[in-house]
Amino acid sequence: MASPASSSVASAQRRPKPPAYPFYLGGVAACLASFVTHPLDCVKNRMQTAKAKQGMWDALKGTAKHDGISGLYAGLTASLLRQMTYSVTRFGAYDWLKVELRTPSDGPPSKPLPAWKLAACASIAGAAGGVAGNPADIILVRMTSDLNRPPAERYNYKHALHGVYRMTVTEGPVSLFRGIVPNVTRAVLMNASQLATYDFFKHSLLNTGLYKEGTWLHFSASFLAGTVATTVCSPADVIKARVMSANGASGGTIAKLQRAIQKEGIGFLFRGWTPAWVRLSPNTILIFVILEKLRLMVDVAREQQGLPSQRNPGIPDVSGSAEQDNKRS
């Protein structure tokens, strides 16, 4: 006669895995967040690529004085293109990997994966996103930091697709993957320190008993994840910005790093941390709060159709869905 434990494992093995969320949800959430935080991304890139040390407020004032308020939205099209390549890939791959790598011993979808699995899923997804978003990332850095260059040396891209076309024609298709090593490194660090830590903080806060599933939980977990991600990613972010803003004749990544350390000291690796945090923290909060609402909409839609969802992998009780929705909202 089979034991209750073995019967439970067999039942879990027979139960189909709930479908992953639509691949594009993370990209949509990131695009919406970019409309709010893009000016800070502009300032951060200009500080990181400036030859002389510059404060956040000086960079803000300099931009507003030179180009007006609209100057803070320079490169917005590149930011949106980046989110629809980089963020769509990293969020989509992360959600898919979390579903595919879950085994019966990990428990139901409501239970978090082990920390090492979360980190592995986030790192793999981050690397894929870094490769997919590299061309748009170069255009974003160039469009937002063009103000730092002498007028005769500026790129003057009209929009993101114009930048991709110009780079392909004048510098060759390979130029679209310039700086891919620091960019992929940053993407791996970002995903591991943002997505994985968000899941970790979310479940840890729930376990304290002080939080319930809802917006305040998502806000708190994403605030903590954004602070961790800013600190972990700062060195790779600075190096990536320096490499991508340069033209093809400026040498390799290692040479740039050595020259910068000799001239500016090791502290330059954390230059722009404040605007990066000011930008990444609200950006992380907006992304995850919006993403959680989009996921809830998908779950509710699936349950109303009698389909399994991430929050309810069995056949849902539609009559009780309204009460569950109120608890999450």
- Nearest Cα to 317, choosing from 329, 326, 21, 308? 308
274 vs 15, more confident: 274
Locate tokens 């620091």: which residue? Answer: 182
Q: Is 109 helix (H, G, I), strand (E, B) or coil?
A: coil
- Nearest Cα to 131, choosing from 163, 168, 97, 93? 93
274 pLDDT above the threshold of 70:
yes
The Cα–Cα gap between 133 and 5 comes to 46
- Nearest Cα to 109, choosing from 317, 322, 299, 289? 299
pLDDT at residue 319, rounded to an integer = 45
Per the CB < 8 A criterion, the answer to whether 163 and 142 are in contact is: yes
- Nearest Cα to 281, choosing from 40, 53, 90? 40
Q: Fold for domain 19-328?
A: Mitochondrial carrier fold (1.50.40)
List phi, psi (to 5°) of 264. Answer: -115, -10
Q: Residues 47-86: pLDDT tens digits?
A: 777 766 767 777 777 767 777 777 788 889 999 999 999 9
pLDDT at residue 243, rounded to an integer = 73
**Positive or negative torsion for Cα 113, 114, 115, 117:** negative
Q: Report pTM.
A: 0.73
* CA dist 155 → 70, 77, 134, 149, 215 (Å): 18, 15, 18, 9, 42
Least confident residue range of 43-57, 102-116, 157-171: 43-57
- Where are the domains positioned within the chain? 19-328
Q: Give mean pLDDT, residues 229-235.
A: 84
The Cα–Cα gap between 44 and 190 comes to 16
